[in-house]
Amino acid sequence: MRVLLVEDEPALRMQLRTSLQEAGYAVDEADNGRDAHFAGDTENFDAVILDLGLPVLDGLTVLKRWREAGRVMPVLILTARDNWHEKVAGIDAGADDYLTKPFHMEELLARLRALIRRSSGLASPVLRSGTLALDTRSARVTIDGQPVTLTSHEYKVLDYLMHRPGQVVSRSELTEHIYAQDFDRDSNTIEVFVARLRKKLRPDLIETVRGQGYRLQCA
């Protein structure tokens, strides 16, 4: 999953980036509202973590412009001000959730997982397809009850597909959502990851839809 992290405080941004990457997210960053607005308006993210107190353009204005432009990615607001008026304004502007600084990183990650699940129409933190299960809390994958060891990129591909069961996902979409913008992207490697997943899981689990992409079987 690909996340846009918008935070102008360098130390906190680095801490958040590290925690998000360790949790398996591809992370793009912005430290001001202008760059954040451009990134969210031109790239596709699975979620955004947005600080309200930004230079150049404040976070609330950025959020309003995204929603007015029809951008629907889930947004988690961060604010250092324990002010209920500001929280209400953020929710009314289109935010999906908020955290007041300081916060526990575990809570932020839990809220982020929940936002991404809900945006995909999923309720449980454990995603299932037949006997395949992926626990988004622990990044643990099992099939027929047995644990399966995946590389980070294999996991990211499977995670994205399992958030979209039965849907056809193109190679370019997978590439866009498992790599950050500054990563040397190569859509051909997606074929390699899918082939490895088929060997480790089940050959018929991921269907190739000719000329369109891949589809995870729902059962």
Chain segment 11-68, per-residue pLDDT in tens = 999 999 999 999 999 999 999 999 999 999 999 999 999 999 899 999 999 999 999 9
Indicate the pLDDT class of residue 168, thresholds 50, 70 and 90.
very high
pTM: 0.90
> Which of 34, 41, 98 is closest to 71 using CA atoms?
41
Instruction: Provide the CATH number for the domain formed by 126-216 in this structure.
Output: 1.10.10.10
Question: In the prediction, which pLDDT does 180 show?
Answer: 82
pLDDT digit string, tens, across residues 122-142: 989 999 998 999 999 999 999
Q: Which fold does the domain 2-119 belong to in CATH?
A: Rossmann fold (3.40.50)
146 - beta bridge partners? 143
Pair type for strands 75-79 and 126-129 = unpaired
- Domains of the chain, by residue range, sit at 2-119, 126-216
Check if the beta carbon of residue 136 is closer than 8 Å to that of residue 163. Answer: no
